[in-house]
Amino acid sequence: MLVKLISGDRPRSLILGLVLLAILVALAFAPFLLPGTRSVDTAARVCIFILLVASYDLMLGYGGIVSFAHTMFFGMGAYGVALASIHMGRGFDALLVGSFAGALAAAALALLIGFFSLRVRAIFFAMITLAVASAVAVLVSQLSGITGGEDGLSYKIPRALTSAAKYTDEKVLGVRINGKLLNYYLVFSGSLILFLLLLRLVNSPFGRVLQAIRENDFRAEAIGYRVIYFRVIATCLSAVVAALAGSLFAIWLRYVGPDTTLSFEIMIDILLMVVIGGMGTMYGAVIGATLFVVAQNYLQNLLGAVGEALVDVPVLPLLLNPDRWLLWLGVLFVLSVYFFPTGIVGRLRQRG
């Protein structure tokens, strides 16, 4: 009933509904269910990447717009928080100003790129966004006096969001209630609210028009919709949400750099998450981001444990060496595409 009230977009599969509920519960209670710095950090990254992938799916899955500049918008939000925190001090006002400035800059650049580039064919627009993103990454690396260059920027956030702030003397369910816990729930609640807004958006009349344009832009234009305007609006909204995801990432990590926010590897990861989860579903962002981030963080440990258990078996310990985790991650991706050509969500909905 709650899902229907928010968006009207039901999972339409019992298995999918249970998986989504399990992910929501796991993320909501991650600090208590999985205590430990690494586990909580993984959960926070899952929250942020669910939002980032969902914002990209608004463009690719619903609007049919192929862009390689999404990490650029992600980085704008992160650098906005970093620069504001450095120049304004470690206050909540700096976080708000930085987040707003990053989102505004991302929207302005997306508007500029959209109006000048979305009139061309899809492949040319993709190449234009790749060129712009590469230019911004080079510019950030070279303006070391402002951005810190390749070394990036470290900064302080409000003390209330750090582990130095203790709110109770006693532990609750084995977990100390401190600023780090508050920081996690800031990331979780911010990601959840923005994701629900995206879910509501794609199931609104605007989202239906976007899907019509994706299926046949000539027909949509013929019945009276200004295709270019809808595509530009979708690009700007996607950029703003990506920038806000970058702001949450900067608040959590307390460090930004070209490798952590602007690299093309992150763009490839986003594409993989969208494809694995299922394009044009939003719920696919939840499944894809969760599987990918968890695999990135724990696949090495799993391979090491399996390799030790099979140490007496010829060849297998060599293949299951933890240093080869990227190979197995690639194998998992190939298998997921082969067995789930419409993504995990698409396949589960077909079965449902």
Q: What percent of the chain has pLDDT over 70?
A: 94
Q: For 161-193, how does the pLDDT look when each residue is reduced to its tens digit (9 = 90+)?
A: 988 888 777 777 777 888 899 999 999 999 999
Q: For 293-342, how does the pLDDT look when each residue is reduced to its tens digit (9 = 90+)?
A: 998 888 777 777 776 776 677 767 777 777 777 777 788 788 877 878 88
Closest by CA position to 200, among listed 53, 58, 350: 58
Q: What's the pTM value of the predicted model, to 2 decimals?
A: 0.92
Band the pLDDT of 53: cuts 50, 70, 90.
Answer: very high
Q: What is the mean pLDDT of residues 265-288?
A: 91
Residue 3 has pLDDT above 70, yes or no: no
Integer-rounded Cα radius of gyration of the chain = 21
CB 315 within 8 A of CB 76: no
- Whose structure tokens read 């030790």? 308
Band the pLDDT of 84: cuts 50, 70, 90.
Answer: very high
Burial class (CB in 10 A: 0-12, 13-18, 19+), 206: middle
Closest by CA position to 203, among listed 2, 3, 1, 50: 3
Give the CA dihedral 105, 108, 110, 116, nearest 10 degrees. -140
Q: Is 166 helix (H, G, I), strand (E, B) or coil?
A: strand
Q: For 208-229, how does the pLDDT look when each residue is reduced to its tens digit (9 = 90+)?
A: 999 998 888 888 888 888 888 9
Residue 120 has pLDDT above 80, yes or no: no
CA distances from 70 to 21, 124, 326 (A): 28, 16, 23
Q: Is 178 helix (H, G, I), strand (E, B) or coil?
A: strand
CB 251 within 8 A of CB 162: no
At the topology level of CATH, where does 2-351 sit?
Answer: ABC transporter involved in vitamin B12 uptake, BtuC (1.10.3470)
User: 54 vs 325, which has greater pLDDT?
Assistant: 54
Burial class (CB in 10 A: 0-12, 13-18, 19+), 149: middle
Burial class (CB in 10 A: 0-12, 13-18, 19+), 295: middle
CB 239 within 8 A of CB 107: yes
Distance from C-alpha of 176 to C-alpha of 293, rounded to nearest angstrom = 25
Band the pLDDT of 55: cuts 50, 70, 90.
Answer: very high
Closest by CA position to 3, among listed 283, 287, 286: 283
CB 282 within 8 A of CB 198: yes
Among 12-21, 126-135, 179-188, top mean pLDDT goes to: 179-188
CA distances from 131 to 112, 115, 237, 339 (A): 14, 16, 21, 34
Tokens of 227: 């295709």
Give the number of residues written for the chain.
352
Residue 180 φ then ψ, to 5°: -65, -40
Contacts of 191 (CB under 8 A, 6+ apart): 47, 48, 50, 51, 245, 248
Domain ranges (residues) in the chain: 2-351
One-letter amino acid of 99: S
CB 163 within 8 A of CB 180: yes
